[in-house]
Amino acid sequence: MKRQKRDKLERAHAKGFHAAMQGQSKEVCPHEDINAKEEWLGGWREGREAFSQNGMKNYL
């Protein structure tokens, strides 16, 4: 059970990262669960930072 929960949070983080790399706003976070939302937003912040530092060249 713990692995499934961790995988769900890891997916939320990755999806937030990809949303940021696509230029989406953090307001489009699809999660209502606080843990998943925090992970998604953490990924989104990392994605925005990576995009602003490196641009799209390292993402593609």
The enclosing domain of 39 has a CATH number of: 1.10.10.620
Reply yes or no on whether the pLDDT at 56 is more than 70. no
Contact 28, 19 (CB under 8 A): yes
Question: How big is the chain, counted in residues?
Answer: 60
- Total tally of structural domains belonging to the chain: 1
- Sign, CA torsion 26/50/60/16: negative
pTM beyond 0.85: the answer is no
pLDDT value at 1 more than 80 = no
Q: Which helix (H) or strand (E) holds 6?
A: helix 2-21
Q: Which domain holds residue 17?
A: 2-58
How would you classify residue 39: left for phi > 0, otherwise alpha for psi between -120 and 50, otherwise beta? alpha
